[in-house]
Amino acid sequence: MFELSDDVIEIRDWVHEFAEKEMRPHAEYFDEHEETPWPVIKKACEVGLYSLDFWGQTFFEPSGLQLPVVTEELFWGDAGIGLSIQGTLLGVTGIMSSGTPAQLAEWVPKCFGTPDDLKAACWCMTEPQAGSDVGSLRTRAVQDGDEWILNGTKVFITNGGIADVHVVVATVDPELRHRGQAVFVVPKGTPGLSQGKKEKKLGIRASHTAEVILEDVRVPMEYLLGGPDKLNSKLEKARSGQSTGKSGGLSTLESTRPVVAAEALGVARAAYEYALQYAMEREQFGHPIIENQAIAFKLADMAADIDAARLLTWRAAAMARNGKPFHNAEGSMAKLKASEVAVRVTEQAVQILGGYGYIRDFPVERYYRDAKIFTIYEGTSEIQRLVISRALKAGLNR
Ligand SMILES: Cc1cc2nc3c(=O)[nH]c(=O)nc-3n(C[C@H](O)[C@H](O)[C@H](O)COP(=O)(O)OP(=O)(O)OC[C@H]3O[C@@H](n4cnc5c(N)ncnc54)[C@H](O)[C@@H]3O)c2cc1C
């Protein structure tokens, strides 16, 4: 049985209040205009929510539940604005997964900045030819003395081009696939780093998504996360056929799966709450529509699905915090279930509102568009099923 500590409850309520008062009133504007919500991020920074202290404390809170709880509240507030905040955390997680303690101390503070000098980070992995197949990255990193030269194109990067810290996965030896990859920090303003096309999207439109182009980008050896010795030893092991453990890229994605699940839960819960309220107020044939079993049962399924997905999410988050490996693909189960629940619940919410669900004056239309991304980014539903079925085949799922 999961129980939230008083401290986590207090933080949850604080983030909820921020989401309600500072995010929700601006959600429609930033969705409509597809702009990065800098004023809201600034406010979050002013109150301490967009800060190293807050997220450090959240990551290391002993139960592991503060991270999904806080994330759910932010995405309950708004998914696009929530992702503008969480996008930075993806870059931060990349640094945490691969960097040395000294690199963490140097780069992580630079990912947030201050209210008057806001910063952001991003995680640059996906490429035009390498989405689900992350082993086939073509962005090349070539060593030149004490420097590395990076060349390639990244696509669909959250905060790509506008971030101060780009965390870039590149291949050093393409034949070794993910075992031949390394992770680099590329700061804003580095010659050769530029933003390509900014994408126009179905949902989470407040969040900036763009191509990142790397043309003869030179970075010093210190920007290689983990350092040269670790990389050389990994390459040596891979070339001699020994196991190298998970790459920085894969372990970053694995650790963020419960977080994406919590993001999906936030949107699902927002849609469910709205639909429930509406169903109790909207009258047709002389009584509230919730009096129809067809509507009440939809709401019952929505509530049960959200709860089930939350339990999977909290389990995975607690395991990740306590260093328990996902032998039974618990992270993938949480991400798969919560994202598909979000798609289903938001679709049902639109149905419960009827025509009003389909127009932009009501937020469920936005929730419906926002929810779809969770079955796609950071590993599609198909890839999560692949990971789960591999665990089944390995016979670990007992
Ligand atoms: C809004 C947005 C934000 C994003 N943010 C980031 C970011 O910050 N950083 C980053 O690096 N990436 C980011 N991504 C990229 C995202 O992670 C990829 O889009 C995703 O991993 C899928 O890759 P793909 O789009 O190339 O699809 P593909 O890999 O081409 O897949 C196409 C379809 O084929 C299926 N498929 C592929 N392989 C298999 C298989 N072996 N078995 C069964 N089915 C399969 C997929 O599930 C999917 O349905 C973002 C994407 C979007 C849309």
**pLDDT score, position 71:** 98
What does the pLDDT look like over 198-217, one tens digit per residue? 999 999 999 999 999 999 99
Helix, coil or strand: residue 2: coil
- Rounded CA separation 141/219 (Å): 10
State if residue 380 touches ligand 1 by the CB under 6 angstroms criterion: yes
DSSP annotation of 164 reads: S
- Rounded CA separation 339/334 (Å): 8
State if residue 153 touches ligand 1 by the CB under 6 angstroms criterion: no
State if residue 123 touches ligand 1 by the CB under 6 angstroms criterion: yes
35 catalytic per annotation? no
Atom of ligand 1 nearest to the CA of 90: 8
What does the pLDDT look like over 123-165, one tens digit per residue? 999 999 999 999 999 999 999 999 999 999 999 999 999 999 9
**pLDDT score, position 250:** 67
Distance 375 CA to ligand 1 centre (A): 9
By DSSP bridging, strand 140-144 and strand 147-158 are antiparallel
**pLDDT score, position 212:** 98
Amino acid in position 366: R
Distance 135 CA to ligand 1 centre (A): 13
Amino acid in position 152: G
Percent of the chain with pLDDT over 90: 91
pLDDT band at 271 (very low <50, low <70, confident <90, very high): very high
Distance 222 CA to ligand 1 centre (A): 30
**pLDDT score, position 394:** 86
**pLDDT score, position 248:** 67
State if residue 158 touches ligand 1 by the CB under 6 angstroms criterion: yes
Percent of the chain with pLDDT over 70: 97
**Domains along the sequence of the chain with CATH:** 6-118 (1.10.540.10), 121-239 (2.40.110.10), 248-393 (1.20.140.10)
Protein residue closest via CA to atom 25 of ligand 1: 131
**pLDDT score, position 397:** 53
Whether the pLDDT of residue 80 is over 90: the answer is: yes
State if residue 390 touches ligand 1 by the CB under 6 angstroms criterion: no
**pLDDT score, position 243:** 79
Protein residue closest via CA to atom 50 of ligand 1: 156
The dihedrals phi and psi of 49, each to the nearest 5 degrees, come to: -85, -30
What does the pLDDT look like over 323-370, one tens digit per residue? 898 989 999 999 999 999 999 999 999 999 999 999 999 999 999 999
Whether the pLDDT of residue 395 is over 80: the answer is: no
Q: Which residue has the tokens 């708004």?
A: 78
Question: What is the chain's mean pLDDT, rounded?
Answer: 95
Distance 378 CA to ligand 1 centre (A): 7
Protein residue closest via CA to atom 26 of ligand 1: 131
What does the pLDDT look like over 4-29, one tens digit per residue? 999 999 999 999 999 999 999 999 99
Q: What is the mean pLDDT of residues 287-304?
A: 98
What does the pLDDT look like over 91-119, one tens digit per residue? 999 999 999 999 999 999 999 999 999 99
State if residue 233 touches ligand 1 by the CB under 6 angstroms criterion: no
State if residue 135 touches ligand 1 by the CB under 6 angstroms criterion: no
Q: What is the mean pLDDT of residues 381-391?
A: 96
Helix, coil or strand: residue 22: helix
Given a contact cutoff of 8 angstroms between Cβ atoms, the answer to whether 253 and 211 are in contact is no
Atom of ligand 1 nearest to the CA of 382: 47
- Rounded CA separation 274/352 (Å): 10
Distance 133 CA to ligand 1 centre (A): 8
- Rounded CA separation 31/389 (Å): 37
State if residue 126 touches ligand 1 by the CB under 6 angstroms criterion: yes
Whether the pLDDT of residue 379 is over 90: the answer is: yes
Dihedral of CA atoms 366, 369, 374, 378 in degrees, nearest 10, equals -110
pLDDT band at 242 (very low <50, low <70, confident <90, very high): confident
By DSSP bridging, strand 165-171 and strand 121-124 are parallel
**pLDDT score, position 255:** 74
Amino acid in position 225: L
DSSP annotation of 359 reads: S
Q: Residue 198's beta-bridge partner residues?
A: 210
Whether the pLDDT of residue 398 is over 70: the answer is: no
More confident of the two residues 241 and 192: 192
Distance 339 CA to ligand 1 centre (A): 14
By DSSP bridging, strand 165-171 and strand 181-187 are antiparallel
Whether the pLDDT of residue 247 is over 90: the answer is: no
Counting DSSP H helices and E strands in the chain, the numbers are 13, 11
Quote the radius of gyration of the chain (alpha carbons, Å). Answer: 21
Question: Ligand 1, residues 207, 380, 384, 388: which to mutate, most atoms within 8 A of Cβ?
Answer: 380
- Rounded CA separation 237/232 (Å): 9
Q: Which residue has the tokens 């209040």?
A: 17
